Structure 1
Amino acid sequence: MSTTTPATGTAWSLGDITVHRVDEIELPRQTGPWLLPDATKEVLDQAPWLRPAFADAEVPRLASHSFAVRAGGLRIVVDTGIGNAKPRANPAWNGLDTDFPERLTEAGFPPESVDLVITTHLHTDHVGWNTRRTGRDWTPTFPNARYLTSRTGWDHWAAADLDEARTQMFRDSVHPVRDAGQYDPVTVPEWGHEVAPGVLLVPAPGHTPGQVAVELRGSDRRALITGDSIHHPVQLSHPHVHSCVDLDPAQAIRTRARLLDSLADTDTLLLGTHFPHPTAGTVRREDGRYRLHAEPGTRLPA
């Protein structure tokens, strides 16, 4: 399946840290109703600011992208999307053919230059570009990088009884990195774990055990990359709307409420891992709910 998007990039400056959004694909329209079944038209209507950027007349819009971060002299990629040429049960993800590595390079992150890859959680659409096809084998896309994920999440999946689709994902996108000696599970305490200057993994469980969000502490402002603790901006106005694939929905709701409360009415930038353009913004309290005040970032020609 060949998929392209416009050859432009978006970046946000936090002072001494810069964050780029590197696009993979816009997810099919039917993804929203499947993933967030309670995000009905009536719920969307209660947050008119969601349209037209984050929802159409009926359903939420979602996207797959990575965030590429420059911090402390390091190049860091947060989550690696769906990946090319991989057999997937989801027809929209099966056998993709995108120019994602070229987009990374255009943003200043050639794969061989990347120092760290952060996996917020070990789901199929977050690890796909961990590897790419080399002949008949899957090999690490980022040959010089350490790949990091939380030890809690790693241990959970190591002990889980996996179905064939998830077994395939581990076979082509996780185990080759582990076998190359590049995957490092790290312990993430409740106050966070700094993995590079100004880059912290912070606990965000519920969607999966051990999921992390990524806090960026720049010299001018902070940012938070959500992982799947917040799938879509509708969950700001309705934090109890949860994903159909949350393993612990109640914990996911508690995590989302905690994060939103900490972000509200600050200048911290919220960067949504599946938010479509404009992707980022600040969280404000409004009429007893939260809303996102969008900050589209800077458009950068290829």
Structure 2
Amino acid sequence: MSEDSVQKFLIGDVEVLRIVEWQGPFAPARQLVPDSGPQVWREYEEQLAPGHWDPGTDLALVAVQTWVVRSAGRTVLVDTGVGRDRERPGNPFFHRRADDLPARLRAAGVEPGSVDVVVNTHIHGDHVGWNTHAVDAEWVPTFPHARYLLPAADDHHFGPGGGYGGGVRVDDRLLYEDSVAPVHRAGLAELWQDTYRVDEHLVLESAPGHTPGSSVLRVASRGERAVFVGDLLHSPVQILRPECNSCFCLAPRQAAATRRRVLERAAAERELVIPAHFAGGGGAVEVRTAARGFALHRWTA
């Protein structure tokens, strides 16, 4: 799947569009998922290559993408990508990118002014970047008529009250100030905790570990189900071996427990798993229980 193409599927009466901001080789596999050993990737090579892992270079392939969800007559965005012209010195992939997500949304029939709700599954730079855009050197909301739903725990942790993530990464202060604080100043931010019902089909639930406020968005319509899992998963290897965390998980033990809990429910209730970062043509996958973790059952077309 190229950055310019749009994947579309239905979950009951809910329409989902996948808008890719960027995808390609990102980092060595065991740098991205340090809990995994080389034997793990080789064991599952047939399922991971070539869309999610290049065995020749040992690079994991990922995507940065936004999901458009049309539900109950409203347009909802799930995560907003990296953004344009951001100062991200801690991550060369995100530093001063020049992508144009609004143009890709318009090409898919989604005008920024028509977006009703923005869901940030958590506050990391590749999930909040297009919350805002620059107008006359000032950051303003990209989606001026939307409610921005932010996990309260992340807003505190990455905001000034939490010392901008405890001051561990300079990028945390920068991304909060250019992508989150302007939404607060505009009066569009809504903080939530535990659970939050977006509409009759969509419910946000806390899923901590990756960050303090990491969340998932559950969809249920006409007997069909899905779950947007944000950064609980960076690679399908974490479905096959759910004990394996990414290098970005702030509380690894909690993240692994949350990942297993969410995948167990997805397998039991036949929820389609929709991650934030899977590359390739299949952005979402059905899972089933397996001896060591979970199995990749079927990808969306």
Give TM-score scaled by structure 2 length.
0.91
| Structure 1 unaligned spans of 5+ | 298-302
- Given that residues 131 and 140 in structure 1 are in contact (C-alpha distance below 8 angstroms), is that contact kept between their aligned partners in structure 2? yes
Where does residue 192 of structure 2 map in the other structure?
Answer: 186
Shift of 1:265: 5.3
- Given that residues 32 and 62 in structure 1 are in contact (C-alpha distance below 8 angstroms), is that contact kept between their aligned partners in structure 2? no
Quick one: distance in 2 between partners of 1:61 and 1:42? 18
Letter in 2 for 1:68: V
- Given that residues 152 and 210 in structure 1 are in contact (C-alpha distance below 8 angstroms), is that contact kept between their aligned partners in structure 2? yes
Quick one: distance in 2 between partners of 1:290 and 1:135? 49
Quick one: distance in 2 between partners of 1:136 and 1:32? 38
- Given that residues 27 and 64 in structure 1 are in contact (C-alpha distance below 8 angstroms), is that contact kept between their aligned partners in structure 2? no
Choose the corresponding residue for 2:218, options 206, 215, 219.
215
Shift in CA distance, 71/206, structure 1 to aligned 2, threshold 3 Å: same
Q: RMSD of aligned C-alpha atoms?
A: 1.8
The answer as to 2:290 corresponding to 1:286 is yes
1:126-173 deviation line (CA, Å, top 9, x unaligned): 100000111111110001100001222222333322333211111111
In structure 2, the residue corresponding to 1:94 is in which secondary structure?
Answer: coil
- Given that residues 39 and 59 in structure 1 are in contact (C-alpha distance below 8 angstroms), is that contact kept between their aligned partners in structure 2? no
1:17-75 deviation line (CA, Å, top 9, x unaligned): 01111100115432644321233432112223222222121233211001110000000
Quick one: distance in 1 between partners of 2:30 and 2:83? 23
Where does residue 110 of structure 2 map in the other structure?
Answer: 109
Aligned length, in residue pairs: 291
Quick one: distance in 2 between partners of 1:32 and 1:68? 29
1:251-275 deviation line (CA, Å, top 9, x unaligned): 0010011011111254321111111
Where does residue 99 of structure 2 map in the other structure?
Answer: 98
Letter in 1 for 2:41: L
- Given that residues 112 and 143 in structure 1 are in contact (C-alpha distance below 8 angstroms), is that contact kept between their aligned partners in structure 2? yes
- Given that residues 25 and 59 in structure 2 are in contact (C-alpha distance below 8 angstroms), is that contact kept between their aligned partners in structure 1? no
Letter in 1 for 2:176: F
In structure 2, the residue corresponding to 1:196 is in which secondary structure?
Answer: coil
In structure 2, the residue corresponding to 1:122 is in which secondary structure?
Answer: coil
Choose the corresponding residue for 2:8, options 8, 11, 15.
11
1:202-225 deviation line (CA, Å, top 9, x unaligned): 121001112111101122411111
The answer as to 2:138 corresponding to 1:141 is no
Quick one: distance in 1 between partners of 2:32 and 2:191? 28
- Given that residues 225 and 269 in structure 2 are in contact (C-alpha distance below 8 angstroms), is that contact kept between their aligned partners in structure 1? no
Where does residue 202 of structure 1 map in the other structure?
Answer: 205
Moved more, 85-94 or 161-170: 161-170
The answer as to 2:34 corresponding to 1:37 is yes
Choose the corresponding residue for 2:249, options 246, 251, 254.
246
1:167-192 deviation line (CA, Å, top 9, x unaligned): 1111111111110001110132xxx3
Where does residue 67 of structure 1 map in the other structure?
Answer: 67
Quick one: distance in 1 between partners of 2:276 and 2:62? 9
Pairing 1:49-60 to 2, within 5 Å after superposition: 49-57=47-55, 58-60=58-60
| Structure 2 unaligned spans of 5+ | none
Quick one: distance in 2 between partners of 1:235 and 1:39? 9
Moved more, 148-157 or 123-132: 148-157
Quick one: distance in 2 between partners of 1:104 and 1:245? 28
Shift of 1:295: 2.3
Quick one: distance in 2 between partners of 1:241 and 1:125? 21
- Given that residues 29 and 53 in structure 2 are in contact (C-alpha distance below 8 angstroms), is that contact kept between their aligned partners in structure 1? no
- Given that residues 265 and 282 in structure 1 are in contact (C-alpha distance below 8 angstroms), is that contact kept between their aligned partners in structure 2? no
Moved more, 135-144 or 36-45: 36-45
Letter in 2 for 1:187: Q
Shift of 1:6: 4.3
Where does residue 270 of structure 2 map in the other structure?
Answer: 267
- Given that residues 11 and 20 in structure 1 are in contact (C-alpha distance below 8 angstroms), is that contact kept between their aligned partners in structure 2? yes
Where does residue 162 of structure 2 map in the other structure?
Answer: 160
Quick one: distance in 1 between partners of 2:205 and 2:120? 12
Shift in CA distance, 276/34, structure 1 to aligned 2, threshold 3 Å: same
- Given that residues 272 and 279 in structure 1 are in contact (C-alpha distance below 8 angstroms), is that contact kept between their aligned partners in structure 2? yes
